[in-house]
């Protein structure tokens, strides 16, 4: 059975040595944040994830969720109890608004905790994860009364939440959605329609489920301009705001999926269900998109989480499994064979996964830190920069990290040979669970289109210009440092290649938008590689300084080795992406649709 050990050392390195999260204490809400508090939380979270959640991961995969004839759903053995422990320990409240019972801790700390929960048990982590999305939507769009009614219970974990967007005929293109809302005299609405792929749609872990539902008010315009957002509680609230009468919403069935079996992915049927409008009529998507950007970063984190746990298990296996001899002579002479970690191709797969995980984690936490600053700083220029970076990097974090997580989980499974294909060993589950992250919250192709079609051009390309200037300044500052030469030159190469790609897009994407579309995924990967080059340069700087200051901790020298691997063995891919992109739309679009 697979195991999980939270990468606490790497997390602390990022939180303290790279990001200096204690600096967040300058903002009122984070005034209590210091190194000790952060360490204590990371360590407690590690324990909770390793001891409570990880042992249930395989159970969830094997048992899945069960829908009963009355529409109720039972989660896998142990999930309900684990959720109770989670609630009691306050994990659901960690980053939430203290005005509604939250602990008000930084989002960057939450992302570290969420990464651990996801590595330990992705299907489980989605129940509180979706609730977080719903909390965000109510926070952004809800009235003071709605916030007061729903947020405290949801933050405490007593109630969970869901996001109801997709219908069978539309997911990406929400303008097509048909679920309808009919205004009632009392100001509420009757919601009718059917939603699919609703994660955590029905389960037995909480007293109530607060569904956030996109629907079209009778008579509203067609398309995206006629979509409103509603709160539809599973149980309507009685006069004391406790769950009372059953609302007209039921789980019609549970989807049979490739992975995340422990999460109940439901078809939700709304039949004159009572709903309450959030925000303005026909402005539902605006609220939804605020929430979705955060969710997209969370999905990038899920990719990292699966890649990390797959890596750990593959390392263990590669150290234990004896098979063949090293090409350079036996390394385990007294044994019947060498451990397969001696083989360069096994190393290659492990090193690629490691370099992506550590680089991806840095990018993710760095972005989360920018979000904390954006929300709490009064410095307009700084807030603007944070907002720019988040806009630019959200599709990269979602699209690039999950694309790469698919490859790394497959590579880690490959290290197991035939045993990787057998469910008993658990590697298949990491691959199957990671698969969804490329798809939901906007398929990765949509992320790439969002990047090249929207985020890149916003405010005259300001976000990328600011980031490029930051990178240039970093290179200028450190290129004289001989120990940093590989990192600064690699970073410069990455940034220059990216710039060529950006220029090409500017010159060719306007005249024919299909040029941008055809190169969008390549460009997203280029920005991913460039971003990770920057993260690696930042990490190398700190690691090198620690060594220069006399540290013997091998953590630092290993960091440099891993970073150099990234530059030499992974960054070259950026040139292939540029070449493919520059071939333009013509080869991609030349075949007639009917000729496929």
25 or 315: CB nearest its own copies: 315
Q: Is 169 in the site for its own copies (CB under 8 A)?
A: yes
Q: Is 454 in the site for its own copies (CB under 8 A)?
A: no
The dihedral region occupied by 324, where left means phi > 0, alpha psi between -120 and 50, and beta the remainder, is left
136 or 577: CB nearest its own copies: 577
Q: Is 328 in the site for its own copies (CB under 8 A)?
A: yes
* Phi, psi angles (nearest 5°) of residue 50: -70, -40
Nearest residue to 34 via CA among 51, 16, 8: 16
When binding is defined by CB under 8 A, the residue of 297, 341, 363, 484 that contacts its own copies is 341
Residue numbers 538-577 binding its own copies by CB under 8 A? 554, 558, 561-562, 564-565, 568-570, 572-573, 575-576
Q: Which stretch binds its own copies (CB under 8 A): 7-15, 46-54, 110-118, 252-260?
A: 252-260
Helix (H) or strand (E) holding 360: helix 344-376
When binding is defined by CB under 8 A, the residue of 26, 84, 143, 172 that contacts its own copies is 172
When binding is defined by CB under 8 A, the residue of 84, 344, 510, 553 that contacts its own copies is 344
322 or 382: CB nearest its own copies: 322
When binding is defined by CB under 8 A, the residue of 19, 94, 134, 196 that contacts its own copies is 196
When binding is defined by CB under 8 A, the residue of 156, 220, 237, 589 that contacts its own copies is 589
When binding is defined by CB under 8 A, the residue of 140, 156, 512, 542 that contacts its own copies is 512
Minimum distance from residue 156 beta carbon to its own copies (Å): 31
CA distance 13 to 299: 23
Minimum distance from residue 91 beta carbon to its own copies (Å): 27
Q: Which stretch binds its own copies (CB under 8 A): 90-98, 103-111, 293-301, 336-344?
A: 336-344
Active site residue 158: no
Q: Which of 50, 441, 486, 586 is catalytic?
A: 441
Residue 346 CA, distance from chain mean position: 27
Residue numbers 398-437 binding its own copies by CB under 8 A? 406, 410, 413-414, 417-418, 420-424, 428, 431-432, 435-436
Residue numbers 292-321 binding its own copies by CB under 8 A? 315, 318-319
Nearest residue to 291 via CA among 185, 446, 163, 418: 163
155 or 518: CB nearest its own copies: 518
> First vs last Cα of the chain: how many Å apart?
44
Q: Is 133 in the site for its own copies (CB under 8 A)?
A: no
Work out the number of other CB atoms within 10 angstroms of the CB of residue 576. Answer: 12
Residue for token pair 């109770």: 84
When binding is defined by CB under 8 A, the residue of 514, 542, 545, 547 that contacts its own copies is 514
Residue for token pair 């952004």: 140
Question: How many residues bind its own copies, per CB under 8 A?
Answer: 96
Work out the number of other CB atoms within 10 angstroms of the CB of residue 68. Answer: 10
Q: Which stretch binds its own copies (CB under 8 A): 324-332, 359-367, 370-378, 487-495?
A: 324-332
Three-state DSSP class for residue 359: helix
Minimum distance from residue 348 beta carbon to its own copies (Å): 5
Query: Tokens at residue 239, please?
Result: 């006069």
Query: Tokens at residue 167, please?
Result: 């219908």
240 or 552: CB nearest its own copies: 552
CA distance 356 to 409: 11
User: Which positions ≥6 away from 440 have C-beta within 8 Å?
Assistant: 197, 199, 299
Three-state DSSP class for residue 219: coil
CA distance 229 to 444: 25
Assess contact for 138 and 97: CB atoms under 8 A.
no
Q: Is 334 in the site for its own copies (CB under 8 A)?
A: no
268 or 448: CB nearest its own copies: 448
140 or 588: CB nearest its own copies: 588
Q: Is 330 in the site for its own copies (CB under 8 A)?
A: no
Q: Is 176 in the site for its own copies (CB under 8 A)?
A: yes
The dihedral region occupied by 329, where left means phi > 0, alpha psi between -120 and 50, and beta the remainder, is left
Report which DSSP code applies to 220. Answer: P
Q: Say if strands 208-217 and 159-164 run parallel, antiparallel, or are unpaired.
A: parallel
Q: Say if strands 228-233 and 189-199 run parallel, antiparallel, or are unpaired.
A: unpaired
CA distance 564 to 510: 37
Give the residue numbers marked as catalytic.
441
């Amino acid at each position: 059975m697979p195991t999980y050990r939270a990468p606490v050392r790497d997390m602390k390195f990022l939180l303290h040595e790279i990001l200096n999260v204690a600096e967040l204490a300058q903002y009122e809400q984070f005034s209590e944040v210091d190194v000790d508090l952060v360490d204590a939380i990371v360590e407690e979270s590690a324990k909770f994830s390793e001891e409570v959640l990880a042992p249930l991961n395989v159970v969830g995969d094997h048992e899945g969720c069960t829908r009963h004839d009355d529409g109720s759903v039972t989660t896998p053995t142990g999930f309900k109890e684990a959720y109770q422990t989670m609630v009691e320990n306050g994990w659901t409240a960690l980053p939430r608004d203290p005005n509604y019972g939250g602990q008000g801790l930084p989002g960057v700390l939450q992302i570290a905790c969420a990464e651990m929960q996801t590595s330990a048990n992705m299907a489980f982590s989605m129940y509180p994860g979706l609730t977080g999305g719903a909390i965000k939507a109510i926070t952004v769009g809800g009235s003071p009364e709605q916030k007061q009614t729903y947020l405290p219970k949801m933050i405490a974990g007593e109630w969970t939440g869901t996001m109801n967007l997709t219908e069978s005929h539309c997911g990406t293109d929400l303008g097509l959605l048909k679920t309808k809302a009919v205004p009632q005299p009392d100001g509420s609405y009757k919601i009718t329609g059917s939603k699919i792929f609703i994660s955590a749609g029905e389960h037995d872990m909480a007293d109530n489920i607060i569904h956030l539902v996109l629907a079209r008010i009778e008579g509203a315009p067609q398309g995206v301009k006629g979509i409103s957002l509603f709160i539809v509680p599973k149980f309507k609230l009685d006069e004391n705001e406790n769950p009372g009468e059953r609302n007209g919403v039921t789980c019609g069935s549970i989807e049979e999926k490739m992975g995340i079996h422990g999460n109940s992915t439901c078809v939700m049927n709304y039949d004159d269900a009572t709903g309450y409008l959030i925000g303005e009529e026909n402005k539902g998507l605006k609220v939804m998109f605020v929430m979705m950007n955060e969710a997209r970063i969370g999905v990038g984190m899920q990719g990292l989480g699966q890649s990390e746990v797959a890596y750990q298990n593959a390392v263990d296996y590669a150290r234990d499994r004896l098979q063949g001899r090293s090409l350079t002579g036996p390394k385990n002479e007294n044994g019947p064979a060498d451990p397969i970690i001696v083989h360069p191709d096994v190393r290659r797969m492990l090193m690629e996964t490691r370099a992506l995980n550590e680089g991806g984690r840095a990018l993710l936490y760095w972005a989360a830190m920018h979000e904390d600053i954006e929300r709490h700083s009064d410095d307009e220029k700084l807030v603007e920069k944070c907002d720019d970076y988040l806009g630019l990097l959200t599709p990269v974090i979602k699209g690039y990290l999950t694309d790469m997580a698919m490859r790394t989980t497959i590579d880690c499974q490959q290290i197991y040979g035939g045993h990787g294909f057998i469910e008993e060993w658990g590697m298949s589950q990491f691959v199957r669970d990671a698969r969804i992250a490329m798809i939901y919250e906007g398929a990765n192709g949509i992320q790439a289109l969002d990047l090249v079609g929207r985020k890149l051009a916003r405010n005259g390309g300001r976000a990328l210009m600011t980031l490029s200037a930051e990178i240039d300044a970093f290179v200028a500052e450190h290129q004289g440092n001989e120990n940093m030469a590989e990192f600064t030159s690699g970073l410069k190469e990455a940034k220059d290649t990216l710039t060529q790609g950006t220029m090409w897009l500017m010159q060719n994407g306007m005249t024919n938008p299909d040029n941008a579309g055809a190169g969008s995924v390549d460009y997203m990967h280029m920005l991913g590689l460039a971003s990770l080059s920057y993260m690696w340069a930042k990490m190398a700087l700190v690691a090198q300084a620690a060594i220069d200051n006399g540290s013997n901790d091998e953590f630092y020298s290993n960091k440099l080795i891993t970073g150099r691997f990234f530059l030499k063995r992974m960054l070259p891919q950026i040139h292939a992406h540029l070449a493919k992109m520059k071939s333009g739309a013509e080869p991609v679009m030349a075949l007639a649709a009917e000729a496929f």
